[in-house]
Amino acid sequence: LQHRVEISHLSVANNHFYTLCTPEPARITEKAKSLKVTERDPVTLECTVEGTPELRIRWYKDGKQLLPSRYYTMSFENNVASFRIEPVSKEDSGTYSFKVENDFGSSTCEAVLTVLTKKDTVLGSSIRMECKVSGSLPITAKWFKDGKEITDSAKYRSLCHENTMSLEIANLELSDSANYTCNISNIAGNDSCSAVLTVKEYIISCANITLLYFLTLMLKTWSPFSYCGSLTSYAFRVSAWSTVFLTLYSVDASRSGHYTCHVSNDVGSDSCTTMLMVTGVHTF
C-alpha cells in the first residue's frame, strides 16, 4: 500500500514518497475439507493461508497438537499448509483442527476424517457386515450401496439382533465391490458408519497343453500373482492376458519330464502339471 505525502513550507513544496506497511492478520483463505478414505491408503489435508510473515502453523486432532512422526508429514510451501498421513488406520478417524497465527492475529478451521474399514473377500463367497449400535428404542437401520438404498432380496438380507445391525451378501460378484453404509436413526437423531468391500477374483486352474519344444500354460487370475521356479536355459514371459509362456532352449531327451506351473496371489494359489516327451531332434 503506497501513500503520497506532501510537505509544504511557505512557498517551497517538497514531495516525498513513503511505503506504509499495513500489518495483515493471519487468516485462512481455503479451509481443509472433510474426507472419507479407506484404511491403509494415504490422505492429505490442506489449508491455504495469508497474512504478514512470520506465519506459524499447527495441526491438532481432537484438541491434541500433532507433531511430525513416522506416519505424519507436515509442510508449508507457497502459503499452502499440508498434513499427510500414510498409511491411515481406523484410529486416525476424528476431528482435525488447523491453526495459523502471526503477531497480528490467528485463524482456525476443522475437518472430519473418516477412515473406512476395508474388507477383501473372494468371488462367489458370501459376507456379513455388522454395526454395533446404541440408543433409545425403536432404532431403524437402512443399508446403502454407493449411496443407493438396499432392499432385502435373494442376494441381500438385513438383520437386527440385540445391538447389532448386519447385512449379508450372498454369491459375491465383482460388481458388489462398493462403499456400503449403515444408517441408523431413532427419535433423538441419526448416525452412520461405512466400509469398503473389494471382491477379488480367485485363480482358475491352468489348462494343460503339451507341445514339443514349446509349453503354454493358460492362467486366469486376479493380478498381481507370483511364480516360483528355476529359469536356467528357459525363457519365461507373462502376456497382458495372464498367459504364462515357458520356452525351452536346446531341447534334448534330458528335458523330458513333468513340468509344473505354480501361481498364487493374496486370495489363493493353484498349480497344474503337464508332461513333456522329447521324441527326437529336429534339424532345420
Residue 184 and residue 189: Cα distance in Å, rounded?
A: 9
**What pLDDT sits at residue 111?**
94
DSSP conformation class of 267 = T
CA atoms within 13 A on the CB side of 161: 5
**What pLDDT sits at residue 30?**
94
pLDDT higher than 60, residue 5: no
pTM tops 0.75: no
Whether the bond into 138 is cis, omega within 30 of 0: yes
Among the residues of the chain, which ranges form H helices? Answer: none
Instruction: State how far Cα 161 lies from the chain centre.
Output: 32
Average pLDDT, the chain: 77
**What pLDDT sits at residue 40?**
83
Same domain, yes or no: 162 and 112:
no
| Position with higher pLDDT, 258 vs 246 | 258
Q: What is the tens place of the pLDDT at every residue in 63-82? A: 899 999 989 999 999 999 99
Residue 149 and residue 97: Cα distance in Å, rounded?
A: 33
| Position with higher pLDDT, 39 vs 108 | 108
Q: What is the tens place of the pLDDT at every residue in 100-116? A: 999 999 999 999 998 88
> Which domain does 103 fall in, by range?
27-116
Same domain, yes or no: 174 and 213:
no
Same domain, yes or no: 149 and 80:
no
CA atoms within 13 A on the CB side of 158: 17
pLDDT higher than 90, residue 119: no
Report how many domains make up the chain: 3
pLDDT higher than 80, residue 195: yes
Q: Which amino acid is residue 248, in one-letter code?
A: L
Residue 84 and residue 69: Cα distance in Å, rounded?
A: 11
Residue 102 and residue 135: Cα distance in Å, rounded?
A: 45
Q: What is the tens place of the pLDDT at every residue in 154-191? A: 899 998 887 888 899 988 888 888 889 999 999 988 88
Same domain, yes or no: 98 and 34:
yes
95 pLDDT tier (thresholds 50, 70, 90): very high
Q: Which amino acid is residue 116, in one-letter code?
A: L
Q: Is residue 182 domain-resident?
A: yes
DSSP conformation class of 31 = P
